[in-house]
Amino acid sequence: MPEERSGNKREGKDRPLTVHQLNALLLICSLVLLIAVAAVRVSSRSGLPSLLLYLGIGVAIGQDGIFNVKFDNAGLTQVIGYAALVVILAEGGLGTKWKEIKPALPAAAMLSTVGIAVSVGVTAAGAHYLVGLEWRQALIIGAVVSSTDAAAVFSVLRRVPLPSRIAGVLEAESGFNDAPVVILVIALSTTEPVDEWYVLIGTILLELAIGAAIGVAVGWLGAYGLRHVALPASGLYPIAVMAIAVTAYAVGALAHGSGFLAVYLAAMVLGNSKLPHWPATRGFADGLGWIAQIGMFVLLGLLVTPHELVRDFWPAVVIGLVLTMAARPLSVVVSLLPFRIPWREKALMSWAGLRGAVPIILATIPLVSGIEGSERIFNIVFVLVVVYTLVQGPTLPWVAKALRLGNGAEAADLGIESAPLERLRGHLLSVAIPEKSRMHGVEVGELRLPAGAAVTLVVRESTSFVPSPTTVLRRGDELLVVATDPVRDAAEARLRAVGQGGKLAGWLGTGG
């Protein structure tokens, strides 16, 4: 009998989460999310990158913080970090415009391959000769910190209005370069001897090719299905889009390809496919992206032990200086040699190589693998990311302005939502005219929509009315446009052109 009671006690310790514990966990998570949301407001006013505030929340909760929560599960952090990165890449891909990124693809591909190789080599040499790390540790750090962070780049590009070519290159680079870096870090973090360099390069290229093929294929099939199957509720479209993007990652990874490249390309294909209820999908993906960032950064802050960072502070500063002032500029110059890009744009791209959660997540790979010195690698990467994000993030707008590369006068794009009318073979377009749109002051007749499309309703200050050809459109108006299936794309293109160029859009080179 005593043994039986003892056994019951042991079983009690291994019980799953109780309802009471779940309630407490939900309370803690909701409070952390609310604090993080408030931190975004503080970040937008102060210019301090929000990722640092999220890391600070994790550190405050953690071992040397207020609540002294002990968390050292690097494996769980890595798994959750990978999942969060999938969501962040999917959200970034959905917001990537093909017309802006298409001219930038060759340059971004060079930065994501040749640029990574140059950056890894220069940073590793600095870590070895200036800090005294062993070559294996130096190469791992060089690989980990050479990847620009998708979350950081996407958020900064939305805040700093840069010329489309620079924004396209930076956006594509941050979406592409995670893939080769992950493969490289995993190869360097094995306890077995590292493959020959040519075998490693061949493996990277093969995995990238597999991931790219799967990403494009899954994205195209998903977009085709969503355009031709009317779902019973508009709220199902955002779920379906995100599920397709995550499917691309899973299929790519299981096929021994780059899942990260697959999810980014699949999301980019979906984002440029004129899917129904698109604003709702973007809002849903944006919310998931914020949750992924918050959860990932808070967890990384929990994992770190602040008092252990002191001894690695100056090595991290030295390596970061090599990365920022030598490795990144050299990688940009070497990678962009085949392209005629002005030196000002190269200078801005060199400074805009932002790091964030991705290097810290990648630094958990050697921790999980048990590589010698892996804890020091993690601490150095953590300090480097924090210090140089504090330096680069807030100063990027100033650098862009100093190089005369800011583009603040750009007209705001229209928000157009489409709902398919299956039986009528038509589409209902809901068009919101934003504050900076040049559609303000244009008459309905001056829109010159293609035959088969017409403005059927205008909502202005909570009042709806059927417009005449001489009705003048204003900022804040919402238009209801009916378009037959063959002219739907042309009608949307014309609306966007007028939104950017006004009534003279056709003569100003804005298309339509």
SS (H, E, C) 361-394: HHCHHHHHHCCCCHHHHHHHHHHHHHHHHHHHHH
- Interval 382-403: pLDDT, tens: 999 999 988 888 888 888 888 8
Of the spans 19-23, 179-183, 249-253, 294-298, which averages the highest pLDDT?
Answer: 249-253
% of residues, the chain, pLDDT over 90: 40
- Interval 419-462: pLDDT, tens: 666 556 778 888 989 888 889 889 898 898 999 899 999 999 88
Asked if residue 291 belongs to a domain, the reply is yes
Q: What is the mean pLDDT of residues 114-143?
A: 95
Asked if residue 99 belongs to a domain, the reply is yes
The residue from 378, 402, 426 where one domain ends is 402
296 and 373 fall within a common domain:
yes
Which residues span the domain enclosing 430? 415-507
479 by DSSP, 3-state: which?
A: strand
Structure tokens at 494: 């014309």
Structure tokens at 274: 């004129």
Q: What is the mean pLDDT of residues 41-63?
A: 77
423 by DSSP, 3-state: which?
A: coil
Sign of CA dihedral 341, 345, 349, 351: positive
Asked if residue 39 belongs to a domain, the reply is no
Name the CA dihedral angle for 27, 29, 30, 34, rounded to a multiple of 10 degrees: 130
Asked if residue 449 belongs to a domain, the reply is yes
Is residue 145 within 8 Å of residue 172, measured between CB atoms?
Answer: no
353 and 453 fall within a common domain:
no
Specify the CATH number for the domain of residue 429: 3.30.70.1450
337 and 428 fall within a common domain:
no
499 and 370 fall within a common domain:
no
195 and 321 fall within a common domain:
yes
333 and 482 fall within a common domain:
no
368 and 444 fall within a common domain:
no
- Give 322's DSSP letter: H
Q: Would the pLDDT of 410 be above 60?
A: no
> How far is it, in rounded angstroms, from Cα 458 to Cα 467?
6
The residue from 358, 379, 402 where one domain ends is 402
Domain count, the chain: 2
Region of poorest pLDDT, from 94-108, 262-276, 296-310, 417-431: 417-431
Alpha helices in 255-373 (DSSP H): 259-271, 278-303, 313-322, 328-335, 343-351, 357-362, 364-369
% of residues, the chain, pLDDT over 70: 89
Specify the CATH number for the domain of residue 194: 1.20.1530.20
- 168 or 111: which leads in pLDDT: 111
Confidence of residue 321 (pLDDT cuts 50, 70, 90): very high
Asked if residue 94 belongs to a domain, the reply is yes
78 and 203 fall within a common domain:
yes
- pLDDT attached to residue 11: 44
Is residue 88 within 8 Å of residue 288, measured between CB atoms?
Answer: no
The residue from 357, 373, 402 where one domain ends is 402
> How far is it, in rounded angstroms, from Cα 123 to Cα 321?
9
Q: What is the mean pLDDT of residues 113-133?
A: 95
144 and 202 fall within a common domain:
yes
Q: Would the pLDDT of 220 be above 50?
A: yes
Confidence of residue 9 (pLDDT cuts 50, 70, 90): very low
Q: What is the mean pLDDT of residues 473-493?
A: 89
Asked if residue 237 belongs to a domain, the reply is yes
Q: What is the mean pLDDT of residues 214-238?
A: 91
Asked if residue 6 belongs to a domain, the reply is no
Q: Would the pLDDT of 8 be above 50?
A: no
- pLDDT attached to residue 216: 97
120 and 233 fall within a common domain:
yes
Q: How far is CA 469 from the centre of its chain?
A: 42
> Tokens 């005629």 sit at which residue?
340
363 and 479 fall within a common domain:
no
- pLDDT attached to residue 305: 87
Asked if residue 459 belongs to a domain, the reply is yes
- pLDDT attached to residue 4: 44
> How far is it, in rounded angstroms, from Cα 124 to Cα 268?
33
242 and 118 fall within a common domain:
yes
